[in-house]
Every structure is written in C-alpha cells, then in structure tokens.
Chain A
Amino acid sequence: MKVLVFIKRVVDYNVRVKVRPDGSGVDTDGVKMSINPFDEIALEEALRMREAGQADEVIVVSAGTSDCQQQLRTGLAMGADRAIQIDTDKPLQPLTAARAFQALVEQQQPGVVLLGKQAIDDDNNQTGQMLAALWGRPQATNAAKIELSGDTARVTREVDAGLEVLDIDLPAVITTDLRLNTPRFVKLPDIMKAKKKPLDVVALDGLVSDAGNDLKIGNWSPPPQRGKGIMVDDVAGLVTELKSRGLL
C-alpha cells in the first residue's frame, strides 16, 4: 500500500509574523520556513505505517515554487521514499489544491492519504475534507490515533465533546492533529542520503487549471491590540482590581 502525504511549506510556528505596513501580506523576508507542523506529524505517521509493515511506499507531495523542494528534501530525510513537487508560483486556495491533489491521487492510487488538519499560515482547515469530497472517499479529520487493519482504519478524532471513534473503508483521507505522534529528528547522514532519493516535478496545469482560485484576498491588517494591562502585587490587589471592574 502506498501512503501519500501532503506537506506544505509555511513560516515556522515559532516566528512571530508581522503584517507589512502596506497591507499586502506578512513579512516573509529572511523568515525561517518549515514543514507545516501538522504535516510533519502526518509524515511521521506514514513512516510508522511503513515501519510496521502496513505500507510499502511513502510519497511526500508539496505544491508551491521550487522553494518547497527544501521541505520535500526534509521529508525525504525523515524517511519518505520519494517526493513530488506540484510546481506553481501562486498560493493555492483549498479547492484548487484539493483538485490538484485529487488528480495526483488518481495517478498514484494510494491506500491512505494524509494531510495536516490545517496549514498554520492560512488556517483554512479545508483541503483534506475537500479532497475526500472530490474523491468520493471517507474522511477522518483531526486524528489523534490511527489503527489500520486490512481494508479499514479505526480513527480516533479530536472533537469538541472529547474523542470520536470512526471506522472508515480504505482508501481514505485522514487529517492529523497534534497528539497523533511526535515527529522524529532528522539525522545528518539521512540528509545526505535524501539527496539521492527521487524528487519529481509536475506542473500544476498538468494536473488542473487554477480556475478554483476565485476568492479575492484584499487588505491585510494587524490584529486589534488589547489595551496595556497592569500588574498587582498580591492576591488582595488582584481581588480589589477585579471588584472595581465589577467582575467579582
């Protein structure tokens, strides 16, 4: 069984992004870029499936400019067998991404497709669900546990009320939450080895048109700032302050 893992290149989660003064986006000059943390977890899970003998090939895929080859190489160094870059210079909106991913899924015929539950740049939380819809296959979002057995998977999902358990038939789309696993660290020799692993480039328009990119993104602004707070010295001060604001 093949496992396809979609990994997006995003601003590292430790970076405090700043909106450009002209409102055209956020400053990404010289900013550290990484694999979207949820996608790194997705890749780790795929590698564990292979190590457990449940999968025989792990393919990482990223859509973006050639810059995202850096994240694909990291994915290969983590242990993926091969990589595919969907080459495009435009940021893809989820429907376009899902259409392109579906075309690739049809070509590769994986048993499991893993994505992060959300990309921490656009915070959309849509692409996996859209891919599952277009493909007409099950979706299990926010996975905290995945147990494969034959043609089905039992997935424990994080939901507002606690944990929901689903059984889904394969092939299926699963999106990952943070508690699924802790990704491994990449070791130096693996980085060397990864240079020899195959990385194919396909053009976006070889898969789909970008007609789905139809939402218009306007001005960017920084979030509203909260007023400056005060410090109190002790519990008595805290209680007085809360009472004076009518909160106690």
Chain B
Amino acid sequence: MSKLLILAEHANGKLNPATAKCVSCAVKIGGDVHIAVFSDSGQAVAEQAARLAGVSKVLNIEHADFTDPLAAMIAPELAALASGYSHLLAPSSMYGKDVLPRAAALLGVNQVSDIMSVNDARSFTRPVYAGNAIIEVSVPEDMLVAATVRTASWAAAEEGNSAEIEQLAAQSERPSHTRFVELQSEGGDGPDLQTASVVVSGGRALGSAENFELIYQLAKKLKAGVGASRAAVDAGYVPNDMQVGQTGKIISPELYFAFGISGAIQHITGIKDAGTIVAVNKDADAPIFELADIGLVGDLFQIIPELEQALD
C-alpha cells in the first residue's frame, strides 16, 4: 500500500489552503497520508493539519532555523524523512516549487510537476505548454514518487478529523549559506486570490494605479479577490502577487471577471479552471471572447460604474 507524505505550507500560524488540496490528491492516490509541518513553533498548524479528512498522522518538526521557509533548510529535512514513504507531495505553489525539486534531487528522483489528475498510484496527468497540452506521466514501479499538486485542479479536503500528531526533531545539518532577509508583502485586505470564490481582474486598459481603484471598488462590492494581468503588474498599477497566469497564480474561482484584458495564452492558463468567465473588452475581436462564458463589448470605464449601480 502507498504511504504518502505531504509538505505543509503555512504562514503566521495558519495552514495554507493549498495543503488541504494536496490532501485530496493524496486521498485519490490512496494509502496512508501523513503531513509534515516544519516551523519554529508549529503546534497550531499541526492541529489544523490533523483536522483534515483522510490524514492519518501529522509530523511536527520544530527548530529555530525553520522560522522562514527556506528551501535550503527544508529540502534536506524532507529528504531525510522520505525513507519509508512511497510518495512525497507538495502544492505547486511558489513554496512547493522551490522546495520539492531540491528534495527530489537529493533523493535522486525526478519530480512530476503539477498533478491534475490521478490515473493510478504511479500514473498522473499534468499540463505542459502553458496548458495547451495534457500529458500522462508514470513513475517506475520501485521509485519514490515526488510530485507537486496543481491546486486549481483539486477541491480542499473536508475538516472534522483528529489525526495523531507526532513531534520529531530536525535530523539533517542546516546550511548557513542562505539567509532570509525580509518578506515584502503588499497584498490588500480583500479575500485571498487563490481561495476567493469570485475574482475581479484588471488589465493594461486600466491605465494607472489610480484607475485600478475601480476594480478594487467593484471587488469589494462582490466580496471578491482582485487579480491582474502581467501588463498591469509590469506597468506598476498593482503589486506582483496579484498576477494571474502562467507565471503568476493559477486560480479556480466560481466567477471570474476580466476587465480590459486581451486574453493572451499566458493569462488564459491561469483562469481555465474558473467556473464562469466574464470578459469586458472594447475590442470585439479580443481573444478573451473565445474563452469567455459571458462577453460584453464596451468601455470598462462606463461598464464598471454601471455594474456597480446595478448591484446596489
């Protein structure tokens, strides 16, 4: 039977929802599912992880060096823990993508990136070419499966469990060659982009940071997260953590609004899993309309205020 270890992602004492999505993938693979929490004081996070349905054990590994999530610290620990497991999983968030390949290389195995679906315990599908093709990847029989899980493809595991929590000590030597300096977080106070059920995004068409207020206001009214195209980020209208797409966040809200976004394939990659896509663009030939479920041709500077009024 498979035995799976999931790398938990967390910050400020909170388990990131990406971990619960990883659990769903692990449950689909089937077997004994464990979660590893690395931190300087992880009991609260471990307890949240222990509540996830399908988890049989949480490993809580505390060390003062684990305050900041550095791949150079965590990967050797994860590699040391991996013996006895058939699968090593992490969310394909920036964190998972940073740590897991480093651990896989230490273990001498290739990694399967971005699992979309599970065929069997060793065979998966994943996107390539910015989601323009889906491939089947299988891992040989006697080899550890190291994989990241494409969170937009998986629902979060339910809560209501109370798995055992085991305290473990750090095992490997921790390098001094990598030092955390700071995290510059600019994120607003709205719902998190990756878990929000409604997301409102703006593109280059907004024209300035001031004009982007229009998007924030509408989002507030809809209790929505706020996203942006790369062009809007590059032009400095919004911070980088709001970018949606191939090199930003892959999201799967129930409802997605794209205002003044042309629909480049790198942007589309990030929103393909959305339930309903609404596009507003003044160019009737914009590629975004090929994908949108509901399209409206028009000037966003007129349409957004009208929409806000209609919502009142």
Q: Which residues of A contact B (CB under 8 A)?
A: 11, 13, 16-19, 26, 93-95, 98, 117-118, 120-127, 129-134, 137-142, 144, 154, 156, 158-169, 172, 177-179, 212-223, 226-227, 229-239, 241-242, 245, 247-248
Contact = CB atoms under 8 A, between A and B. Distances in A.
Interface string B290-312: 01111111100001001100110
A217 B114 CA distance: 14
B177 A168 contact: yes
B11 A161 contact: yes
Given A223-B132, A235-B303, A229 B184 contact: no
A168 B130 contact: no
Contact of A229 (B75, B103, B123, B294): B294
Given A16-B265, A95-B109, A162-B241, A216 B185 contact: no
Contact of A247 (B71, B247, B255): B255
Interface in B40-69: none
Contacts of A93: 110
A168 B178 contact: yes
Contacts of A26: 129, 132-133
B180 A166 contact: yes
Interface stretch (B138-146, B159-167, B202-210): B138-146
A168 B296 contact: no
A143 to B, nearest CB: 12
Interface of B: 11, 70-72, 75, 93-95, 97-106, 108-114, 123, 127-140, 143, 175, 177-187, 194, 230, 233-234, 239-241, 246-247, 249, 254-255, 265-266, 272, 276-278, 289, 291-298, 303, 306-307, 310-311
Contact of B102 (A139, A168, A218, A233): A139
Given A164-B183, A178-B247, A217-B137, 17 more contacts: A17-B133, A121-B128, A123-B113, A123-B127, A126-B104, A139-B71, A164-B184, A166-B181, A168-B179, A172-B177, A178-B230, A214-B140, A218-B136, A220-B135, A221-B135, A234-B296, A236-B310
Contacts of A212: 108, 110
Contact of A129 (B102, B265, B289, B307): B102
Please report whether the interface of chain A is mostly helix, strand, loop or mixed according to DSSP: mixed
A223 B133 contact: yes
B177 A137 contact: yes
B239 A162 contact: yes
B241 A160 contact: yes
Nearest to A160: B94
A162 B94 contact: no
Given A162-B239, A165-B181, A216-B137, A133 B106 contact: yes
If over half of B's interface residues share one DSSP class (helix, strand or loop), that class is named, otherwise mixed; here it is mixed
17 contacts: A117-B247, A120-B246, A123-B129, A125-B101, A127-B101, A129-B101, A130-B102, A133-B102, A141-B97, A144-B240, A165-B180, A179-B240, A216-B137, A223-B132, A229-B294, A230-B293, A239-B310
Given A154-B181, A160-B94, A163-B184, A238 B294 contact: yes
Contact of B75 (A125, A133, A219, A235): A133
Nearest to B230: A178
B67 to A, nearest CB: 13
A11 B310 contact: no
A-B complex: 3 closest residue pairs judged by Cβ atoms? A218-B136, A130-B105, A129-B101
Nearest to B98: A141
Nearest to A127: B101
A230 B183 CA distance: 43
A127 B310 CA distance: 50
Contacts of A179: 233-234, 240
A226 B101 contact: no
B268 to A, nearest CB: 10
A122 B311 CA distance: 43
A116 B95 CA distance: 17
A93 B135 CA distance: 14
